[in-house]
Amino acid sequence: MSHEPTVKIVNITKRYSDIVALKGLSLDVRRGEIFGFLGPNASGKSTTLKTILGLVKPDFGYVNVLGINVEDNPVEVKRRVGYVPESPRIYEFLTGLEFLDLTGDIYGMNPAEKKKRIEEYLEALELEGREGDMISSYSQGMKQKIVIISALMHRPELLLLDEPISSLDPRSARIIKDLLRELASDGVTTIICTHVLEIAQALCDRIAIMYEGGLLALGTMEELRERAKMPESDLEDIFLQLTGTGDIRPVIEALLK
């Protein structure tokens, strides 16, 4: 694995009136790494992903992606990135196939390659036979699969995935996880936001735990265990310990009263 940073975040701060979404966040994500963002709701995970893609402009600091300053050339960054938003809304009036065709054209894929990739992904994620249906009639999981395919099909160098597996069936989720590992070994970097700690633990090379717009902890599982002084614990316990939300017993007792 190369140690050249694919994503370099330098001291970014983002404020929405009186709410500070990001507080001086700095980190590097290396090439070929699967990097996880964890954190409670509204801790700044999705804002960080959007900032990396250039969808949110930081008030201070800057982000470099693949050596490009995002603010200077967002289009070039987008061309080389695949993005799955948290609650994707897609063109419901298109069929699944038409949406993927549109995506292929937007990312400049040649027709033969586009056709091959679309067919491969549709088969792999068991969408064959439904690709000609309007997206409005798809289930949430099917829509999620279509968005994931659209993020992967143009072979991006960086994947930004916000809760990508939450609506998928177990088989498809497994395929995506294995695929991400394979892509990582080919040098594709993945940044993933998730609340599913098992996925983060199993999939991510390094994990950043965010809290109130800042970085609470960053490292491999081993490094996080050391930081939390919980050598045998899993990520859930470490997460609760580090975010100060570990003492949940009184809450449960209060709810049971």
Partner 1 sequence: MNWKNVLLLISADVKSYRLVSGERFRRFRDNRFVTYALYVGACVFGVAIGWVVGNFYSGMGDPQLRELLLQVTINFFLSLPTLALLYGLVITQIGQIQRIGVKASIQPLYWFPITWKEHTLASILANILGLPLAITIFISSGIAVASLFVGVVPLAILTIFALLVSVLLASATTEASRVLQVKLSGAMTKVAGRMVIWVKFLGSLVIFIVFYAVYFSLYRQAASLDLLELIAGGQRMLWFIPYMWHGIALSYFVSGLGFETAILSLASIGFLYAIFLAAVRLNSRFGLYEAPAIRLSLGEYTPRTGVLEKLGFSPLEVAVMRKDFKALTRRSELMSVFMFPIMLAIMPFITVFRGSTDFNSFLFVWLALMPGAFMVMNLGNFMVGLEGASVWYIYSSPITARSLVKAKYSFTVLFSLAVTLVCSIIGSLLAAPSMGIAAIVLTEALFLIFSLGMVSLSFGIRGADFSEFPRPRMIRPKWAIVNMIVCTLLTLAIVSPVVLYLLKLFIKTVQAPLYAMVPISGVIASVVAYAFYRIVLKNAEEFLIRAEG
Choice between 16 and 245, CB closer to partner 1: 16
Of the candidates 226, 204, 218, the one whose C-alpha atom is nearest the C-alpha of residue 9 is 218
Residues 73-112 that bind partner 1 (CB under 8 A): 74-76, 78-79, 81, 83, 85, 88-95, 97-98, 101-102, 104-108, 111-112
Q: Which stretch binds partner 1 (CB under 8 A): 113-121, 179-187, 200-208, 249-257?
A: 113-121
| Closest distance to partner 1 from the beta carbon of 158 (Å) | 12
Degrees (nearest 5) of the Cα angle 5, 40, 214?
A: 45
| Closest distance to partner 1 from the beta carbon of 66 (Å) | 13
| Closest distance to partner 1 from the beta carbon of 162 (Å) | 11
89: CB partners within 8 A, 6+ apart: none
Question: Can you tell me whether residue 40 is helix, strand or coil?
Answer: coil
| Closest distance to partner 1 from the beta carbon of 249 (Å) | 31
- Interface with partner 1 (CB under 8 A), residue total 44
| Closest distance to partner 1 from the beta carbon of 121 (Å) | 12
| 213 contacts partner 1 (rule: CB under 8 A) | no
| 27 contacts partner 1 (rule: CB under 8 A) | no
CB 177 within 8 A of CB 199: yes
- Of 53, 125, 165, 176, the one binding partner 1 by CB under 8 A: 53
| 119 contacts partner 1 (rule: CB under 8 A) | yes
Query: How far apart, in whole angstroms, are the C-alpha atoms of residue 161 and residue 128?
Result: 24
152 by Cβ neighbours in 10 Å (0-12 / 13-18 / 19+) ranks as buried
Choice between 93 and 182, CB closer to partner 1: 93
Of the candidates 16, 140, 148, 142, the one whose C-alpha atom is nearest the C-alpha of residue 85 is 148
Q: Helix 111-124 to helix 96-106 angle, to the nearest 10 degrees?
A: 140
Give the contact letters, 128-167, x = binds to partner 1 (CB under 8 A), - = no. Answer: --xxxxx-xx------------------------------
Choice between 101 and 212, CB closer to partner 1: 101
Q: Helix 140-152 to helix 170-185 angle, to the nearest 10 degrees?
A: 10
Placement of tokens 């549109």 in the chain: 102
Question: Can you tell me whether residue 161 is helix, strand or coil?
Answer: strand
- Which residues contact partner 1 (rule: CB under 8 A)? 50, 53-57, 74-76, 78-79, 81, 83, 85, 88-95, 97-98, 101-102, 104-108, 111-112, 114-115, 118-119, 130-134, 136-137
